[in-house]
Amino acid sequence: MMVRYVLEAGWQLLFKDMDVSAQDVLYHAQMPLDLLSRKSPTISGDEFLRLWDGLARALSHEPTFPLRLARAITPESFSPPIFACLCSRDLNIALNRIAHYKPLVGPLHLKIEQESRHTVAAISSTASNVSLPPSLVAFELAFWVQIARIATRERIVPLRVHVTSELPESDRYHAFFGTPIQLSDFNGITFSAEDATRPFLTVNDAMWSIFEPELNKRLKYLTQEASFRERVQACLIEIMASGQTSMDDVASRLAVSSRTLQRHLQAEGTSFQKVLDDLREELARHYLTTSDYSSGQIAFLLGYEEPNSFYRAFRTWTGKTPEYVRAVGK
């Protein structure tokens, strides 16, 4: 079975940040020019690599664009790899998390080797006979360093940076990394044990405990093993805070009709409303017992327009008030 990757909305933000036309990128990648306007577009592993190569061609006048892209990363940028990293306690944990969830991004494999004096992260394609575009390699290496610097508020300098082919304008990469770029038989980066275990100031165990199960469901869905209920729940948790909680919203993201979505859920003995209510109750209990969010903030995170709507729903689900559950839970 060919794995299909969801073309996240982050690609459009990427094109915007890089001031490049999406149509130019798609043209260079030899992909349909209307791809990004389709409902829930997906791409194959080969198309993912072609898309990145198309970006490099569209930005051929700026050979070091991966550095500009890495510098644009902020804690507010929500994507599975960025969130998984920044919630971690240190770089070692972040690298292992990103290695686990890398398949959600594209046909990429990240191998982590932790030794007593250093940690090595190596990036490669999931297809043994396929090489990654040099610009993608450059971005991945810069991404890891930028994440470490953002999370620790220190100028982390890797011990070594390894590439299988020379990077253009290597002096600019040298300036960013703080260490020379070495030609090697693999693409990767080596951090000292001290830097790899330096505490992340962005650690957030409570938020991670909410999103980890959903990222795991997305991984399961990637190989088409997830139940339809799990697919709906994983989709809801991604879009809930934006207020998009209708059946039509989810059906559109899953590229099925609302009728088909409901039929699949009925076959599994449930309904869309039950999946939504169960998820909201689970998240509400978690927020109430592990955070200091107000009822209004929790209502927003659960996709309600008014706090009173959340309050009434919570009483219906539990027979108790949010304040009571918070007091007992803490």
CA dist., res. 109 & res. 190, Å (int): 16
C-alpha distances in Å from residue 62, one per residue of 18, 124, 175: 10, 24, 16
CA dist., res. 136 & res. 14, Å (int): 13
pLDDT band at residue 286 using 50, 70 and 90 as cut-offs:
confident
Q: What is the pLDDT of residue 81?
A: 65
CA angle 104, 105, 107 (to 5 degrees): 95
Tell me the per-residue pLDDT of 230-280, one tens digit each, with 9 for 90 and over: 778 877 877 776 777 899 988 887 778 899 999 999 988 899 999 999 989
Mean pLDDT calculated for residue range 294-323: 90
Domains recognised in the chain with CATH numbers: 1-61 (no CATH), 66-203 (no CATH), 207-329 (1.10.10.60)
Q: What is the pLDDT of residue 226?
A: 55
Tell me the per-residue pLDDT of 152-205, one tens digit each, with 9 for 90 and over: 999 999 999 999 999 999 999 999 999 999 999 999 999 999 999 999 998 988
Tell me the per-residue pLDDT of 118-128, one tens digit each, with 9 for 90 and over: 999 999 988 76
CA dist., res. 286 & res. 326, Å (int): 9
Helices first, then strands: H and E counts in the chain: 17, 7
* DSSP reduced 3-state for 120: strand
Question: Given a cut of 90, is residue 140 above it in pLDDT?
Answer: yes
Tell me the per-residue pLDDT of 93-108, one tens digit each, with 9 for 90 and over: 999 998 888 888 888 8
Q: What is the pLDDT of residue 5?
A: 79
Tell me the per-residue pLDDT of 15-53, one tens digit each, with 9 for 90 and over: 888 888 888 998 888 888 778 877 777 788 888 899 999
Task: Tell me the residue type at 259.
Answer: R
The tokens describing 264, both together, are 């699949």
Q: What is the pLDDT of residue 2?
A: 54
Question: Given a cut of 60, is residue 76 above it in pLDDT?
Answer: no
State the chain's mean pLDDT as an integer: 86
Q: Between 179 and 215, name the one with better pLDDT.
A: 179
By the 8 A CB rule, do 230 and 213 touch? no
The tokens describing 218, both together, are 């997305």
